[in-house]
């Protein structure tokens, strides 16, 4: 049997992983042959030998690499809806912006939708303006859970859910001490928040701004302690 090139085998595995990530399916033998620069028959023989050596799994049609074997292919399709208020409830139309696929290994099974936070009333729960919230669609919630609630006036809001038994009302609690609770006689639970998806760049910018403010305060405190008022006195000016 002709000896196969180990580098070509590695390239086949790498291409199969990249192709699956981009297209969510296994590449064909022809696609592999084109990618690594060999004939279709040669690519086939490589796949057979790699299967025999345990480098991949190949059934004559589909290829499964070690990386792909660790993946769970189960996905749940979920719509991204319009922004939802995290301040005072706003009249909202549930316009579907797009669809995304959520892995069941992370989110579990069920029906989900995503909404974009609008406002600052839930910052104490780690939900900032512009964040995407993954919501499990359900009509009931436990006290203390963050819910998407449709209230009596037809507005939709994202708040923490409680029952006020003395008032016999529902209390929708914002995670912001500057805002007051919302009391309603009844509300319709549309879902329970399960995950928050953040823009890492925005989080980093916020952290950097906070660090800069702390450094400025420390510098000012140091100047006051030394009886100095000119920042240039700290820059080595002679």
Tens digit of pLDDT for each residue in 134-150? 999 999 999 999 999 98
Q: Quick one: what percent of the chain has pLDDT higher than 90?
A: 47
Q: Where would I find the H helices in the chain? A: 6-23, 29-36, 40-52, 66-70, 104-107, 200-226
Region 12-38: what's the mean pLDDT? 90
Across 8-17, 70-79, 84-93, 117-126, least confident range: 84-93
The answer to whether residues 162 and 97 belong to one domain is yes
Q: Do residue 54 and residue 111 come from a single domain?
A: no
Q: Is 116 a domain residue? A: yes
* CATH number of the domain to which 14 belongs: 1.10.10.10
The active-site residue, picked from 121, 163, 225, 235, is: 121
81/180 same-domain check: yes
Co-location of 66 and 171 in the same domain: no
- For the entire predicted model, the pTM comes to 0.57
Do 122 and 148 fall within a single domain?
Answer: yes
By CB atoms closer than 10 A (0-12, 13-18, 19+), residue 57 is middle
128 Cα distance to chain centroid = 13
Let me know if residue 99 belongs to a domain: yes
Residue 35 is assigned to a structural domain of this protein: yes
pLDDT score for 238: 39
Whether residues 160 and 191 fall in one domain: yes
Residues 100, 62 share a domain: no
Report the interhelical angle of 29-36 vs 6-23 (nearest 10°). 120
Per the annotation, the verdict on 159 as an active-site residue is yes
Which residue reads 């050596």 in tokens?
A: 53
**Residue 131 placed within a domain:** yes
Q: Has residue 93 been placed in a domain?
A: yes
225 annotated active-site:
no
Q: Who contacts 88 (Cβ-Cβ below 8 Å, separation ≥6)?
A: 119
Mean pLDDT for the stretch of residues 43-72:
86
What is the C-alpha to C-alpha distance for residues 127 and 154, in angstroms, rounded to an integer?
23
Q: Which of 10, 39, 73, 159 is catalytic?
A: 159
In terms of Cα–Cα distance, which of 152, 142, 236, 134 is closest to 193?
134
Give the tens place of pLDDT for each residue, 168-211: 999 999 999 999 999 999 899 999 999 999 876 644 545 555 55
| Dist CA 208 CA 212 (whole Å) | 6
d(CA 40, CA 31): 9
Lowest mean pLDDT segment, chosen from 72-81, 93-102, 109-118, 199-208: 199-208
User: How does DSSP classify residue 232?
Assistant: G
Q: Distance between CA atoms of 84 and 129, rounded to whole angstroms? A: 10
**Which domain covers residue 35, as residue numbers?**
6-70
Judge whether 139 lies within some domain: yes
In angstroms, the CA 202 to CA 210 distance is 12
Total of domains in the chain: 2
Cα–Cα distance, 46 to 35 (Å, whole number): 13
58 and 81 belong to one structural domain: no
Residue 162 sits in the same domain as residue 100: yes
What's the first-to-final CA gap in the chain, in angstroms?
80
Pair (33, 114) in one structural domain? no
Q: Is residue 220 part of a domain?
A: no
| Residue 159 belongs to domain with CATH number | 2.10.109.10
User: Are residues 121 and 170 part of one domain?
Assistant: yes
């Amino acid at each position: 049997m002709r000896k196969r090139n180990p580098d070509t085998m590695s390239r086949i595995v790498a291409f199969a992983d990249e192709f699956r990530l981009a297209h969510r399916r296994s590449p064909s033998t022809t696609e592999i042959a084109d990618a690594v620069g060999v004939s279709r028959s040669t690519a086939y023989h490589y796949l057979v030998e790699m299967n025999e050596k345990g480098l991949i799994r190949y059934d004559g049609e589909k290829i499964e690499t070690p990386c792909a074997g660790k993946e769970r292919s189960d996905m749940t399709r979920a719509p991204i809806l319009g922004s939802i208020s995290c301040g005072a409830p706003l009249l909202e139309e549930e316009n579907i912006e797009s669809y995304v696929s959520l892995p069941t290994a992370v989110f579990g099974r069920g029906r989900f939708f995503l909404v974009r936070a609008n406002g600052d009333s839930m910052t104490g729960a780690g939900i900032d303006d512009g964040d995407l919230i993954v919501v499990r669609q359900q009509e009931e919630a436990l006290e203390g859970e963050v819910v998407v609630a449709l209230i009596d006036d037809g507005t939709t809001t994202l708040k923490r859910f409680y029952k006020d038994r003395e008032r016999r009302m529902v209390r929708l609690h914002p995670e912001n001490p500057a805002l007051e609770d919302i009391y309603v006689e009844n509300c319709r639970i549309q879902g329970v928040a399960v995950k928050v998806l953040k823009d890492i760049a925005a989080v980093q910018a916020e952290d950097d701004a906070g660090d800069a403010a702390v450094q400025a305060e420390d510098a000012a405190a140091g100047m006051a302690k030394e009886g100095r008022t000119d920042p240039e006195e700290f820059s080595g000016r002679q």
